[in-house]
Amino acid sequence: MPVMPVKQSGADVQGRMIPLNTEEMLLVRGKEGTLGLVKVGENKQFFLETDNEEIILALEPDDLLVASGFGTDETIVKGLKCILFMIREVGSPFIALSKKHPASRRLKIVVSAGNRTRVSCSITPGTHPEQDILCGSSEFDGVEISGVKGGIEFKNLRYDTFEKIPFNI
């Protein structure tokens, strides 16, 4: 499988693996939104909270935590890094809001976890306990992100800029 350099245009990533280790975060920058991705690493157990239950997510080290930010400035990038750190390193739970919860329209960042995530702009942010779908800006609609051994693969990504940054606070 061909390996992609650190900074590249999305048009060149179809079917290619972008290397990523547990000490790095990959940013996918669009015109309206930003995605932040980190490997799950050794902390393989996470908690998802809903109104009715607590779900334990058992994940593999090459699975991904994917955060979708509705914006592109440095505040969003810092927020993506912070929320991923809070989940992976601090152990904060994922929270899924009820479908008509008023806070969903105020969310600036939402997160999913697993080996595969599909981004959709037609769902309500923060209301899906299913971890294979994530709300994102329209430019990322239909993008599929998969965690693979040693990296990440994308499908249906039309454009955008990739950047790796250290995953530390």
Closest CA to 119 of 130, 104, 135: 135
DSSP output for 76-124: HHHHHHHHHHIIIII-PPEE---TT-GGGGG-SEEEEEESEEEEESSS-
What pLDDT, on a 0 to 100 scale, did the predictor assign at position 3?
41
Distances (CA, A) of 154 to 2, 4, 8, 32, 169: 13, 12, 13, 19, 27
Rg (CA), the chain: 15
pLDDT category at 18 given cuts 50, 70, 90 is: very high
pLDDT category at 8 given cuts 50, 70, 90 is: low
Q: What is the pLDDT of residues 70-79, one digit of tens each?
A: 999 999 999 9
CA dist 114 and 103 (Å) reads: 24
Distances (CA, A) of 29 to 16, 20, 52, 97: 18, 16, 35, 26
What pLDDT, on a 0 to 100 scale, did the predictor assign at position 126?
65
Q: What is the pLDDT of residues 97-141, one digit of tens each?
A: 878 888 878 889 999 999 999 998 876 666 576 778 898 999 999
Q: What is the DSSP letter of 29?
A: E
Q: What is the pTM of this model?
A: 0.88
- Reply yes or no on whether the pLDDT at 158 is more than 90: no
Q: What is the pLDDT of residues 48-70, one digit of tens each?
A: 998 899 999 999 999 999 999 99
What pLDDT, on a 0 to 100 scale, did the predictor assign at position 64?
97
| Residue found under tokens 């499988």 | 1
What pLDDT, on a 0 to 100 scale, did the predictor assign at position 4?
42
- Bridge partners, 136 (sequence order): none
- Reply yes or no on whether the pLDDT at 17 is more than 50: yes
